[in-house]
């Protein structure tokens, strides 16, 4: 039986009026390139979206994960978009492109990717989550809730097909060589949370049903780690299959109702709520955010995409957005103070080393009593 691969490959190659939104002409270039790739039989089908300033290429094919032809297609599309963005002087043109030459796989070259290969079920609903102004660990909390928390996912308790739990593949994204660990819910749940709570270091890579059926795949590319210096946030994507022995679509979406706090936002150096928003609100404005996530629902049908439906475009998520904005407002009053601002080791921009250097000679091992500046107080009232 032929297996279908769903590849979501994304990059920030330039955005309008700052880091706000992908310009329409870049979306058009991407549609044109992918349409030609369908004619050339490189891919079967595609959909182009944007998560704020990130261009998202959603593609189906029969070539498996890490396929050179498919990755090259994404790379060439990003290069074509970058070229035009540079000509048009679009802001941060080519931001996530770390090299001039393609080396066989898009991983480690700047763009992010989540891929999943499976034998299609009788009917295969999927949700694709795409976030802006945050990092891969942003999915730890919602996906733990979806696949391991019975207070979120009723099916874990009342559907015998989900009752055995799920296997999580967790990645340490700070190591130079890939490091993955397999943990099972419910039995390893507490140990799993010890890792997943450290969202900047341990991220979910994939989730499987106990019989091996793949249920979720997340991009874990850590851009600034790859680049060795700050060049943008990772703005991760996640693919989640739903129903028939997996959490229902409503249980998958329920995991995103909290607007939990994530790292990112302004200059990749703050915490903020992850707002679940409709496509029309997929643009980051206030303080370059707040961080947000869109969700598109598709049916995968004989290697093709049917849809999408804009899953967070629903009044049912208004309360989450409202709560998120209240949290955002509260956090912003902290200005440069931690924990609203990240710990200096986790900041994408920091002036601290420069400040310490500047004041190096003014540090003392004794408490300093100011000698006082020469100011004339003779006119004062006393
Ligand atoms: C965060 C992000 C923005 C920029 C900020 C400063 O991921 O992209 O918040 O960090 O707007 O941008 P530059 O350094 O381009 O002026
Ligand atoms: Mg940007
Ligand atoms: Mg972005």
**Catalytic annotation on 376?**
no
Does the CB atom of residue 266 touch ligand 1 within 6 A? yes
Ion ligand 2 nearby residues (CB, 5 A): 12, 19, 53, 92
Give the residue among 306, 309, 307, 278 at the shortest CA–CA distance from 292.
Answer: 278
Q: Confirm whether 141 is domain-assigned.
A: yes
Least confident of 49-63, 123-137, 312-326, 346-360: 346-360
To the nearest 5 percent, what fractions of the chain are helix, strand and coil?
A: 30, 30, 45
Burial class (CB in 10 A: 0-12, 13-18, 19+), 380: exposed
Element containing residue 120 per DSSP (H, E): none
Would 9 be classed as within a structural domain?
yes
**Contact present, 97 and 261 (Cβ < 8 Å):** no
**Is pLDDT at 229 greater than 70 in this prediction?**
no
Decide if 324 is inside a domain. yes
Confidence of residue 209 (pLDDT cuts 50, 70, 90): very high
SS (H, E, C) 222-268: CHHHHHCCCCCCCCCEEEEECCCCCCCHHHHHHCCCCCCEEEECHHH
Residue minimizing CA distance to atom 6 of ligand 1: 267
pLDDT surpasses 80 at 380:
no
Residue-range definition of the domain harbouring residue 135: 4-346
Task: Ligand 1, residue 288: give the atom nearest the CA.
Answer: 9
Please tell me the predicted confidence (pLDDT) of residue 372. 82
pLDDT cut 90: percent of the chain above it = 83
pLDDT over 80 (residue 233):
no
Ligand 1 center to residue 75 CA distance, Å? 23
Residue 360: predicted pLDDT: 93
- Candidate from 18, 19, 89 with most ligand 1 atoms within 8 A of CB, to mutate: 19
How large is the average pLDDT for residues 338-361? 88
Cα distance between residue 138 and residue 196, in whole Å: 10
The SS3 of residue 24 is helix
Length of the chain: 382
- What's the pLDDT at 375? 79
Residue 227 has a pLDDT of: 60
232: left (phi over 0), alpha (psi -120 to 50) or beta: left
**Displacement of CA 57 from its chain's centroid (Å):** 14
Tens digit of pLDDT for each residue in 65-106?
999 999 999 999 999 999 999 999 999 999 998 887 888 888
Q: Identify which has the larger pLDDT, 382 or 181.
A: 181
pLDDT at 112 over 70: yes
Q: Which atom of ligand 1 is nearest to the CA of 132?
A: 7
State the chain's mean pLDDT as an integer. Answer: 94
Q: Is 20 in the pocket of ligand 1 (CB under 6 A)?
A: no
On whether residue 285 sits in a domain, the answer given is: yes
Residue 145 alpha carbon to ligand 1 centre in Å:
31
The residue to mutate among 268, 270, 285, 290, having the most atoms of ligand 1 within 8 angstroms of its beta carbon, is 268
Per the domain annotation, does 364 fall within a domain? no
- Residue of 10, 202, 233, 234 with catalytic role: 233
138 occurs within a structural domain: yes
Q: What angle do CA 293, 309, 132 make, to 5 degrees?
A: 15
Domain count, the chain: 1
What is the tens place of the pLDDT at every residue in 23-65? 999 999 999 999 999 999 999 999 999 999 999 999 999 999 9
Over 90: is that where the pLDDT of 133 sits?
Answer: yes
Reported as a pLDDT band with limits 50, 70 and 90, residue 349 is confident
Distance separating alpha carbons of residues 301 and 3, to the nearest angstrom: 11
Least Cα distance to 148 among 181, 182, 180, 192 occurs for 192
How far is C-alpha 352 from the chain's CA centre? Answer: 27
- Closest atom of ligand 1 to CA, residue 348: 10
The mean pLDDT of 211-222, rounded to a whole number, is 92
Summarize pLDDT for 184-201 with one digit per residue, the tens. Answer: 999 999 999 999 999 999
Q: Distance (Å, rounded) from C-alpha 190 to C-alpha 186?
A: 9
Pocket lining: 241 vs ligand 1, CB cutoff 6 Å? no
In a domain, 375, yes or no: no
Distance CA 70, CA 212 (A): 25
**Residue 145, both tokens:** 């809730």
Q: Is 133 in the pocket of ligand 1 (CB under 6 A)?
A: yes
Question: Which positions ≥6 away from 377 have C-beta within 8 Å?
Answer: none
Task: Confirm whether 381 is domain-assigned.
Answer: no
> Is 12 annotated as catalytic?
yes
Catalytic position from the list 72, 84, 184, 230: 230
63 has catalytic annotation: no
Regarding the beta carbon of 145 and ligand 1, being less than 6 Å apart is answered: no
């Amino acid at each position: 039986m032929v297996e279908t691969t769903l590849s979501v490959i994304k990059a920030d190659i330039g955005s309008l009026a700052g880091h706000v939104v992908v310009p329409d002409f870049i979306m058009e270039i991407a549609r044109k390139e992918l349409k030609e790739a369908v004619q050339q039989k490189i891919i079967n089908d595609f959909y182009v979206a944007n998560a704020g300033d990130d261009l998202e290429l959603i593609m189906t094919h029969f070539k498996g994960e890490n396929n050179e032809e498919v990755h090259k297609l994404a790379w060439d599309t990003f290069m074509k978009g970058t070229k035009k963005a540079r000509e048009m002087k679009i802001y941060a043109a080519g931001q996530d492109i770390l090299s001039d030459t393609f080396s066989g796989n898009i991983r480690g070259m700047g763009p992010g990717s989540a891929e999943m290969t499976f034998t299609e079920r009788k009917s295969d609903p999927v949700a694709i989550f795409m976030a802006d102004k945050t990092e891969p660990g942003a999915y730890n909390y919602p996906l733990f809730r979806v696949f391991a928390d019975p207070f979120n996912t009723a099916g874990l308790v009342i559907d015998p097909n989900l009752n055995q739990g799920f296997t999580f593949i967790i990645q340490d994204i700070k190591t130079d060589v890939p490091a993955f660990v397999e943990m099972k819910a419910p039995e390893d749940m507490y140990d799993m949370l010890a890792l997943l709570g450290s969202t900047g270091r341990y991220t979910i890579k994939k989730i499987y049903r106990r019989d091996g059926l793949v249920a979720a795949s997340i991009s874990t590319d850590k851009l600034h780690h790859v680049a060795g210096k700050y060049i943008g946030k990772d703005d991760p994507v996640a693919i989640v299959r739903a129903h028939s022995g997996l959490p229902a679509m409503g249980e998958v979406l329920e995991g995103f109702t909290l607007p939990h706090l994530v790292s990112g936002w302004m200059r990749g150096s703050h915490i903020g709520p992850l707002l679940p928003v409709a496509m029309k609100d997929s643009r980051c404005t206030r303080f370059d955010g707040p961080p947000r996530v869109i969700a598109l629902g598709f049916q995968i049908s004989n290697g093709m995409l049917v849809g999408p439906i804009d899953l967070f475009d629903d009044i049912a998520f208004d309360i989450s957005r409202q709560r998120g904005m209240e949290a955002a407002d509260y956090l912003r009053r902290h200005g440069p103070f931690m924990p609203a601002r990240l710990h200096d080791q986790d900041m994408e921009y920091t002036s601290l080393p420069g400040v310490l250097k500047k004041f190096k000679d003014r540090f003392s091992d004794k408490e300093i009593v100011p000698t006082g500046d020469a100011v004339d107080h003779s006119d004062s009232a006393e």
